[in-house]
Chain A
Amino acid sequence: MKEQTISPRIYVAVFAALAALTLVTTGVAYIDLGVFNPVAALTIAVVKATLVVLFFMHVWYRGKLTWVFIGAGVLWLAFLIAFTLSDAVTRPWIPVPTPWTGSAVYPGAPVSGEVER
C-alpha cells in the first residue's frame, strides 16, 4: 500500500466545505422547493459524505482495492432501499381483486381513502 502524508491544509479546506454545506442544507430546508426539498437535502448529504470518504478517510490517496469494498456497501444499500420502496410505491398501482364469494372484506380491513396520513 502506497502511503502518502496528506497536508493539514487539505483537511482544513475539506472541513470548511463541510461546515459551509451544513449551513446550506439548513438554509435550503426553509425554502419551499416542493418535492426537491428532500432531493436537495440528500444530494448535499451525499456530497458531504463523499468529501469525508475521499479526504478524511484517505481513499483518494489509496489503491483501487478499497473501492471494491466501498462499492459493495453502496451497491447493496441501493438494492435494499430501491427494492423496499419499489414494493411499497407500486402496490396501489394494481387494484385489490374483489373477493370471489361472500360479504366483501375480512373484518377490520382498511377501506380505501380512510388511512390516516
Chain B
Amino acid sequence: MQPGRLTLSETNSLVAHQFETLEQQHLAGWLGMWIFLATEVMFFGGMFAGYALYRWAYPGAFAAASRELEVLLGATNTLILIVSSLSMALAVHAAETGRRQRLIGLLLATMALGAVFLGIKGVEYLHKFDHHLVPGSGFAFAAPFQRTAQIFFSFYFALTGMHALHMVIGEGLLATLVIRAWRREFTPEHHAAVEITGLYWHFVDIVWIFLFPLLYLIERHR
C-alpha cells in the first residue's frame, strides 16, 4: 500500500466511517471473508463426515457406484477449475498493478471457465438421469447394491449440487466485479473486492479438489 498515491480527500471517500484507514478497512474485509470460509468448511464438512461414515459402512456399494461416474469428465472439470483459479489469481495481480483491460479480460475468462465447468456438470447429471442413477423410485442398480448404491448417489448429488450452487454464486460475484472494473472503480490502492472475491473462488476450487478423488476415483484399479 502506497498512501502517497492518493490525496487525503480521495482516501477519505473510500474509507467507511467506522475505519481509521483504508488499510484497516481492507484487513477487516479480508478477515471477514476468512471467517465466512471457516463456516463454509463446517457446512461442507458435515456432508464430508456423512460421506466418510457411509463409505466406511458400505465400501462395496461405494466402489461399484463410483465406477458409474466418468473419470474423463471429472478430471477435465478438475483441470478447468484449476485454470480458472490461475486466471482469478492473475486477475488479482492485474488489479494490484492497475491494468484495467487485463483485469476485465481475466475476470471474463474466469467466468467462461466456470460456465464450461457447469456445462460439463450438467451433461453428467443428464447421463445420471438417463441411466437411472438418480436416487428415488426410478433408481436401478445391479445386485447386490440395488439399495445401498443410492446412498452413494445421494452424497454425489448433495455434494456436487451444493458445489455447483457455489459456482453459480461465484459467477454472479465475478459479474459484479466486471461491472465495477468497467466503471473504473478499482485502483492499485483500492481493489479489496477483487482479492476477497478471489478467496471465495479459490475456496470453491478446493472443495472440488477433494470431491474429485472421493467421488470419481474409488477402487478404480479393480
Contacts and interface: CB of A to CB of B under 8 A. Distances in A.
Interface of A: 1, 3, 5-6, 8, 11-12, 14-15, 18-19, 22-23, 25-26, 29-33, 37-38, 41-42, 44-45, 48-49, 52-53, 55-58, 62, 65-66, 69-70, 72-74, 76-77, 80-81, 84-85, 88-89, 116-117
A48 B209 contact: yes
A19 B78 CA distance: 9
Contact of B52 (A29, A66, A74, A81): A81
Given A18-B82, A42-B213, A56-B88, A1 B206 contact: no
A99 B12 CA distance: 75
Contact of A65 (B31, B59, B205): B31
B52 A85 contact: yes
Contacts of A74: 41
Given A8-B90, A49-B209, A66-B30, A84 B49 contact: yes
Given A70-B34, A117-B60, 8 more contacts: A1-B23, A5-B96, A8-B93, A37-B221, A52-B209, A62-B30, A77-B48, A81-B45
Given A12-B86, A25-B213, A56-B202, A88 B1 contact: no
B48 A81 contact: yes
Interface residues of B, number: 59
B38 interface: yes
B42 interface: yes
5 contacts: A29-B217, A29-B220, A42-B213, A52-B202, A66-B31
